Amino acid sequence: MARLLSPRATAIRRILARMSSTPDTRFIPRFRRRLATLLAVLSALPFCLAAESLPIVTQRLGDVTETPVYSAPATVVAHHTPRIAAEIDARIVDLPVAVGDRVDVGTPLAQLDCARAEAALAVARGEVERSAAQQRFAAAQLERARDLTRSKSISEELLDQRRSELAAARADQVVRAEQVRLAEIDVDRCVLRSPIAGVVTRRHASIGDYATRGSPVVDLVESVGQEVSVALRDEQTATLRQAQNMRFTSNGAEYAVELRALLPQVDSTTRTREARLRFVDAVADPGTAGRLVWQGQGRLLPAIYLVRRNGVLGVFVREQDTARFVALPDAQDGRPAAITLAADTLLIDDGRQRLNDGDAVRSVDTE
């Protein structure tokens, strides 16, 4: 373009110089003709330049975009991890399980010395029999008092006393019966049984130790119902809600999982929210550490295809023979950008840096 304009510019400079040095009025008509010719050439020049299209290389958008993949550290947690403790004060006489043993619901875990509890039960049952005898005697006394009252042999006050004695005997029998039930519970607690199907993970006591109420004896972990626990940031939480393919990975193994719950509580220190995921098929052992990996929705465009125009990041696409700038407001320098254009959109690769919106373009073959 500089070479095209230089002859005309030289002519204009010569004409202006002659006008300034030669104030001949006969020169003005010829100057006007030359100036008109120059303006005509210059006015036609943009159309000539516009007709020249810029060479570009395009790629199909679906061939360069990627599905976003996210991950976060995760741990497998058991559904139940009970610590079995003694419920009576007694000496341990047997521990039939060892660490690593699998147990079912009701499996005996420890046997406590039950002599004291059994003696207390026998005493309670004796008290029930004594209370029953007192109740029978009080009932007979009341019946005799009623007969004597009919013959006016005793006063109404004595009759009321016999009624009160019978009521007290009945109440005492109820108390004695409950004492028997409590003693039976203590006898039943002489044997510690597993409340779940799981595995013994620890023994806190040995045979001969004296266990008190609340002292731990055996730890268990449930063998079913494990879940994956993961702490997520806010942006990760949003993508996990919409994810379809989620898996827990650990030591090369992968387990399919699905979201069960997002806790409605944010940790004030880490600013994260806990999510719980259940296993779909195979399960990992409790305590296994790994990563939760999931695929987000939409597509990500690598950052190398982004260009900046008028302070906004975006991409150039080809529409017929024209370059169009598509702004991506959420894009950031050096990071993949989310894009919602159709997969068959022609993305301009080579030549994009010198383009402006609306430029004429033509595709060229690349080896």
Last residue of one domain, picked from the residues 172, 204, 220: 220
Instruction: Evaluate if residue 13 carries a pLDDT over 80.
Output: no
Q: For CA atoms 183, 187, 189, 190, give the dihedral sign.
A: positive
Two tokens, residue 299: 């597509």
pLDDT of residue 19: 52
Residue 116 shares a structural domain with residue 163: yes
Q: Which of 6-15, 273-282, 351-360 has the lowest mean pLDDT?
A: 6-15
Q: CATH number of the domain that 247 lies in?
A: 2.40.30.170
Identify whether the C-beta of residue 231 lies closer than 8 Å to the C-beta of residue 272. yes
Residue 87 shares a structural domain with residue 214: yes
- Kindly state the DSSP code that residue 212 receives in the 8-state scheme: -
Nearest CA to 287 among 78, 73, 72? 78
Residue 123 shares a structural domain with residue 161: yes
pLDDT band at 31 (very low <50, low <70, confident <90, very high): low
Instruction: Evaluate if residue 4 carries a pLDDT over 90.
Output: no
Identify whether the C-beta of residue 277 lies closer than 8 Å to the C-beta of residue 227. yes
pLDDT of residue 5: 43
Q: How far is CA 340 from CA 66, 330, 337, in A?
A: 12, 12, 10
Residue 259 shares a structural domain with residue 172: no
Burial of 98 (0-12, 13-18, 19+ CB in 10 A): exposed
Dump pLDDT digits (tens) for 47-90: 444 447 889 999 899 888 888 889 999 999 999 999 999 999 99
Residue 194 shares a structural domain with residue 319: no
- pLDDT, mean over the chain: 86
Instruction: Evaluate if residue 367 carries a pLDDT over 70.
Output: no
Residue 236 shares a structural domain with residue 154: no
Last residue of one domain, picked from the residues 194, 220, 246: 220
Residue 142 shares a structural domain with residue 89: yes
Residue 204 shares a structural domain with residue 88: yes
Residue 212 shares a structural domain with residue 131: yes
Nearest CA to 82 among 186, 187, 199, 229? 199
Residue 312 shares a structural domain with residue 340: yes
pLDDT of residue 340: 85
pLDDT band at 185 (very low <50, low <70, confident <90, very high): very high
Q: CATH number of the domain that 206 lies in?
A: 2.40.50.100
% of the chain residues with pLDDT over 90: 60
pLDDT of residue 48: 45
pLDDT of residue 194: 96
Q: How many domains does the chain have?
A: 4
Residue 332 shares a structural domain with residue 235: no
CA–CA–CA angle 107, 108, 110 (5° rounding): 150
Give residue 182's domain range. Answer: 83-220
Q: CATH number of the domain that 307 lies in?
A: 2.40.420
Dump pLDDT digits (tens) for 79-134: 999 999 999 999 999 999 999 999 999 999 999 999 999 999 999 999 999 999 99
pLDDT of residue 274: 96
Instruction: Evaluate if residue 238 carries a pLDDT over 90.
Output: no
Sheet holding 90-94, edge to edge: 191-193, 108-112, 90-94, 210-211
Nearest CA to 290 among 110, 71, 64? 71
Residue 248 shares a structural domain with residue 345: no
Identify whether the C-beta of residue 275 lies closer than 8 Å to the C-beta of residue 262. yes
Dump pLDDT digits (tens) for 305-333: 999 999 999 999 999 899 999 999 888 89
